[in-house]
Amino acid sequence: MYLKKISLILCVLFISASMFTIHSAQASGGFVDVPKDHEAYEEINYLVSLGVIKGYTENGKTYYKPYNSVTRGQVAKMAVVASGNKPLVISKSNFSDVTVGTELSGYVERAVQLGFFRTNTKGQFLPNKPLTRDEMSYVLTKAFKLDTSEYENIDSPFVDVGITHAYVQYVNTIYYNGITKGSGQNYNPNSSVTRAQFALFVARAKSEKYRLEPPVKGVAVPDTSQVIGLIASTTDGLNIRKSKDSSSSTNIVGTVNKGGKLSVYAVEGDWLKITYKGAFAYVYKTYAQFLDADGNALGNVQKQVTTTQGINLYVKPSSSSKIISSVKSDVKLPVYKTTGGYYLTVVNGLPGYIVANSTVDVEVEQPTTPDPDPTPPIVTGDLLGRVTVDNLNIRKEANSTSTVLGKLTKGEYVQVNSINGYWAQVTYEGQKGYVHKSYLKLLNQNGNALKNRIIILDPGHGGKDPGTVVGSNSEKAITLKVSTLVKQKLEAAGAKVLMTRTSDTYPSLQDRVDFTNENYGEIFVSIHVNSAANTSAQGTETYYAITTGDMHQEDIDLASFVNNQIVNNLKMKNRGVKEEQYYVIRNTIIPAILVELGFLTNSEDRGKMTDDQYVELFADSIYKGISQYYAKQ
């Protein structure tokens, strides 16, 4: 009897010890599919000990299933537990796909209440859908209260997370806090998250012990509150440089292709100070297009307004956002869009928002150019003007405040008696008056179509800015050579031709616009040479911009004639006529185009642009294209 009691006690102790061993193994992990050398072994055990995660028991064995995708429902529970919260008890589910009263329901409702998830608008939570890596960045920053403000509006270190990506600031936050490192240059935002990966991320977010070494950001982290705008590259292979030096290849830290977006912190001459991989860098302004606060192109000008008082230009349509600059009273500005009581406009080349009720609308023909000087050029003769905009006012006198005698419709013709600076005296239906000549296409009825036309040629780059350089060949030299030849041909036909530079000098982009205005230009042709990282890229392309007055059909006509002449006469690949908001053509209200002759980075194109015989053909083709434009009535 005594021995039986001893045996019974030993048996109970053995069973108890066995149960304790099993419990301890499960509490510390004990997953048959997570060996000690697994990369997430410690982190999984850490979260098991906190009760954040559990495994699956199958045939008496416990599995973690580390390579299964983790679902949104599973993450809701893990995030609530890991953040020290409890499930929410509710009587009615807020989601049609989550049954009220279930364990999942309580955790989902609490996770949503705490703001851990962005939910869709169809009343579903999608609990069985795998969590994506971009969603994961949001959950972690919210559940563990990580500060995201430092990483808003800065470029992501990953090439597949653009600055306008919906989760970019959250991806940046977990990257710079040592929670994720991505895969090389990619973050793979749309990929699902495995259970092992999520354990790693949660452990790192919850405990400093498991964090990765924070990445080096280079120069001090840019203060995102100082962002003044957003740009998109207008060309492939735009160089991003450490400093404002286009002559050195050693300061290139990366490239961005056409459409790539970057935050802008300052405009420094012809350079834009931006952020790239967490540090300040620079790109050349010529090849960038400013966007609105939502990352979209500015679009067409809707109207013009005049400020009625001194006002601020804001980065966003809110008086609490950063002030870019101040605008004085009685300044005329274009309006691209209206958003909640604010106008999207452009001031000194920078887009921003102004308070709408601090402005008044103005007429379309208001000149954005300087008043005529005391001795402006005079043109008389048998001259017609074709109206290029609707509702063009005929004024009693040659100024924008004079009495309106009538209105002209796009496509109508008027007899032009004389031109004084930017004002043309016209006769229409027997009545004389004045219109701003920028809104007339001037057509000679006798002699050469080019006679007395004021044409501005703009050889791209120059001086300290060589443009594209390949070997001993530079863009600035080619464009000057071609432009000079075009000038000679146009002048021989009787045109008045002025060039923004006639030697190796460096006028800024605004200098070129001002030069055009000061000389009462009637058309503007900017000549450039292209480049690309891919040396097989070749051909001619010509650009126009949508500008104030909406006369872009004139731009398209001029661009098409010039582009087709070059393509046909030099057997160039035709890359077409395209719309881009390049500064020099966007900021002129006359027909204006930018011609890319060919790619200096392509051996075939380069051979033509550096051969005197072909250079002559380039010049002759531009001359003939301009002639065709003026010959079209």
Task: Compute the radius of gyration of the chain from its Cα atoms.
Answer: 33
Q: Render pLDDT for 489-542 as a digit per residue (tens, 0 to 9).
A: 999 889 999 999 999 999 998 899 999 989 999 999 999 999 988 889 999 999
Dump pLDDT digits (tens) for 222-249. Answer: 566 678 888 888 777 778 887 777 666 6
Mean of pLDDT over the chain? 83
Distance CA 156, CA 175 (A): 9
- 41-49 and 195-206 helices, crossing angle to 10°: 70
What is the reported pLDDT for 19?
35
Query: Of the candidates 333, 460, 440, which has an alpha carbon nearest to the alpha carbon of residue 388?
Result: 440
Please tell me the least confidently modeled range out of 145-159, 344-358, 487-501. 145-159
Counting residues of the chain whose pLDDT is more than 90, the rounded percentage is: 29
Three-class secondary structure of residue 41 per DSSP: helix
For residue 549, what pLDDT band results from cuts at 50, 70 and 90?
low
Instruction: Please provide residue 553's backbone torsions phi and psi, each rounded to the nearest 5 degrees.
Output: -65, -35
Q: Which residue has the higher pLDDT, 378 or 596?
A: 596
In this structure, which long-range contacts are made by residues 65-69, counting pairs with CB atoms below 8 Å and at least 24 apart in sequence?
Answer: 65/33, 65/195, 66/33, 66/34, 66/38, 66/40, 66/194, 66/195, 66/196, 66/199, 67/194, 67/195, 67/196, 68/194, 68/195, 69/130, 69/131, 69/192, 69/193, 69/194, 69/195
Q: Rounded distance, CA 475 to CA 324, Å?
A: 33
Token readout for 79 is 């995030």
Q: Is 437:517 a contact under the CB 8 Å cutoff?
A: no
pLDDT at 135 over 80: yes
pLDDT of residue 331: 86
pTM over 0.75: no
CB–CB of 622/565 below 8 Å? yes
Most confident listed range (147-161, 368-382, 575-589)? 575-589
Distance CA 617, CA 570 (A): 7
**SS3 annotation, 94-162:** CCCCCCCCCHHHHHHHHHHHCCCCCCCCCCCCCCCCECEHHHHHHHHHHHCCCCCHHHCCCCCCCCCCC
Position 364 confidence tier, pLDDT thresholds 50, 70, 90:
very low
User: Of the given ranges (84-93, 144-153, 467-476, 581-590), which has the lowest mean pLDDT?
Assistant: 144-153
As a whole number of Å, the end-to-end CA separation of the chain is: 124
In sequence order, the 6+-apart residues with CB closer than 8 A to the CB of 472 are: none
Question: What's residue 6's pLDDT?
Answer: 41
- Best-predicted range by mean pLDDT (35-44, 297-306, 543-552): 35-44
Residue-level pLDDT at 594: 95
Which has the closest alpha carbon to 258: 239, 235, 274? 235
Q: What is the mean pLDDT of residues 3-17?
A: 40
pLDDT given for residue 486 in this prediction: 94
Residue 253 and residue 215 in contact, taking contact as beta carbons nearer than 8 Å: no
Closest CA to 419 of 391, 454, 456: 454
pLDDT at position 573: 94
Residues forming a β-bridge with 392: 408
Select, from the ranges 188-197, 250-259, 563-572, the one with the highest average predicted confidence (pLDDT): 563-572
Q: For residue range 390-447, what is the model confidence (pLDDT) as tens digits?
A: 888 899 998 888 888 888 888 888 889 999 988 999 987 778 899 999 899 999 888 8
Helix (H) or strand (E) holding 44: helix 41-49
Which helix H or strand E contains 624, and what residues bound it? helix 612-631
Q: Helix-strand-coil percent breakdown of the chain, rounded to 5? A: 30, 30, 45
- The pLDDT, as a whole number, for residue 343 is 92
User: Is the alpha carbon torsion for 295, 300, 301, 302 positive or negative?
Assistant: negative
CA distance 297 to 294: 9
Q: Can you give the pLDDT at residue 157?
A: 74
Among 35-49, 188-202, 535-549, 612-626, which is the least confidently predicted range? 535-549
Beta-bridged to residue 497, according to DSSP, are: 455
Tokens in use for 117? Answer: 């998830």
pLDDT tens readout for residues 288-342: 788 887 778 777 777 888 999 999 999 888 888 888 888 899 888 888 888 888 9
